[in-house]
Amino acid sequence: MKIDFYISSLSSGGAEHVMANLARYFAAGDNEVNLISYEKRPQFYNIDKNVNVIKYNNKAKNRFFLSLFVEVFRDIRDTVRRLKKGKPQVAVSFLSRCNIMLIIAGIFSKSRIVVCDRNYLLKEYPGYIFTISCFFYRFADAVIVQTHEVKKTYPKYLQNKIFVLENPLDFKELELQCIKEDTKNSDENDIKRENTVLSVGRLEKQKDFKTLINAFKKTAAKFPDWKLKIFGQGCMKKELEAYIKNIGMCDRIKLCGVTHTPFFEMKKAGIFVLSSFYEGFPNVLCEAMYAKTPCVSTRCKCGPSDIIKDAVNGYLVDIGDEVKMAEKMEFLMGNGEERKTMGERAFESVKYLDINRVFLRWDKVLHKIVDL
């Protein structure tokens, strides 16, 4: 099978990570795989040598409407040329901007078009954007989402072409992150836990790190030996730095930037917290659970409620409820045995996300679409 994958960038995001692994998986089989990046952000992930990477860099020099229009036009133009030249049997795109561009570019192409939404669009964009996206999606051959909860939000006329495929976990890749200089000759399960609350994500409004910061501050006096570490980059970095300084928590709360070994950090952490307003299917939450780290997450749409059974393999709290979040964090901080027990339950509960199992379902879906 000849497959093209399209994405805005190969930066340090969950969707980018899944696509990089997906391309590697298909390239390992009897497939010709191309990965097309529009280079909207700097590359973070390394791509398998068997995957042919094609980069288009039409990024606008400023954010004026005309410049953005020209950028989109050039991206669509390059996509049309790519489909005409490459003639993939199936073209797969991630994220709404790429989805719509690929559908437009593929109007006169014989390639099957598969679009994938990686977030909860009704929260990510205004309602009219969701309506427009759905209008275009009717011209795709398939739409892939990550949860049944998300699928229900789409109109009836799309339901028959929607497939639900969760984000996978590459267990081997995760465990390799733990082979560091200081642990090279030791069992990754023996990595010493630290009194650290950890979170990982882009420093953007969606992740609501202010609620997490406020919740941690409420626990600070009672548990003076605990710290909060947030890994990620984004447009709110300076704002969050100023906020942390303003509440006098610089010695206890650290913005740590990007890490190439987030799973290693999860293995060291005592607690993992996801404070988001909304999600698609949060990779970092699943990875933290596989790291046997007890998790506290907001009950946001969509994803966490599919992954966590409250008070069994993690805790769910309402969005923005820093009081309840602090209560759950305090309970775990003060109960080492509960942290261990809940971490073990979390580990067992995400085994179904094994990359080979999930990508076998991807393979079946793509072959089904090609054979239509």
Q: Domain segments of the chain: what residues?
A: 2-168+354-370, 171-352
Is a pLDDT exceeding 80 seen at residue 126? yes
Percentage of the chain exceeding pLDDT 70:
97
Is a pLDDT exceeding 50 seen at residue 181? no
Type and span of the H or E element at 365: helix 355-370
Distances (CA, A) of 109 to 71, 76, 94, 346, 370: 22, 13, 19, 45, 13
Contact yes or no for 118/110 (Cβ under 8 A):
no
Burial class, 178, CB count within 10 angstroms (exposed 0-12 / middle 13-18 / buried 19+): buried
Contacts for 101 with CB less than 8 Å, ≥ 6 apart: 6, 72, 75, 76, 79, 93
**Left (φ > 0), alpha (ψ -120 to 50) or beta: where does 230 sit?**
beta
Query: Topology of domain 171-352, per CATH?
Result: Rossmann fold (3.40.50)
Round the average pLDDT of the chain to a whole number and report it: 93
Homologous superfamily (CATH) of 2-168+354-370 is Glycogen Phosphorylase B; (3.40.50.2000)
- For 249, the token pair is 């928590």
**What count of Cα atoms within 13 Å lies in the side-chain half-sphere of residue 349?**
24
Q: Could you tell me the pLDDT band of residue 188, with boundaries at 50, 70 and 90?
A: low
Positive or negative torsion for Cα 112, 118, 122, 125: negative
Predicted pLDDT of residue 13: 82
Lowest mean pLDDT among 46-50, 305-309, 368-372: 368-372
Is a pLDDT exceeding 80 seen at residue 342? yes
The pLDDT tens digits of the residues spanning 55-90 come to 999 988 787 878 888 999 999 999 999 999 999 999
Type and span of the H or E element at 187: none
Is a pLDDT exceeding 60 seen at residue 232? yes
Fill in the amino acid letter for 367: H
The pLDDT tens digits of the residues spanning 145-159 come to 998 989 999 999 999
Predicted pLDDT of residue 189: 57
The end-to-end CA distance of the chain, in Å, is 14
Alpha-carbon gap, residue 108 to 76, rounded angstroms: 13
Is a pLDDT exceeding 80 seen at residue 164? yes
Contact yes or no for 283/16 (Cβ under 8 A):
no
Predicted pLDDT of residue 166: 92
Over range 205-234, report the average pLDDT.
97
pTM of the model: 0.84
Query: Quick check: do 2-168+354-370 and 171-352 share a fold?
Result: yes
Closest Cα to residue 307, out of 338, 285, 340, 332? 285
The pLDDT tens digits of the residues spanning 275-311 come to 999 998 899 999 999 999 999 999 998 889 989 999 9
Distances (CA, A) of 172 to 57, 61, 178: 33, 40, 10
Type and span of the H or E element at 202: none
Predicted pLDDT of residue 180: 58
Predicted pLDDT of residue 185: 45
Q: Residue 65's CB: how many other CB atoms inside 10 A?
A: 8
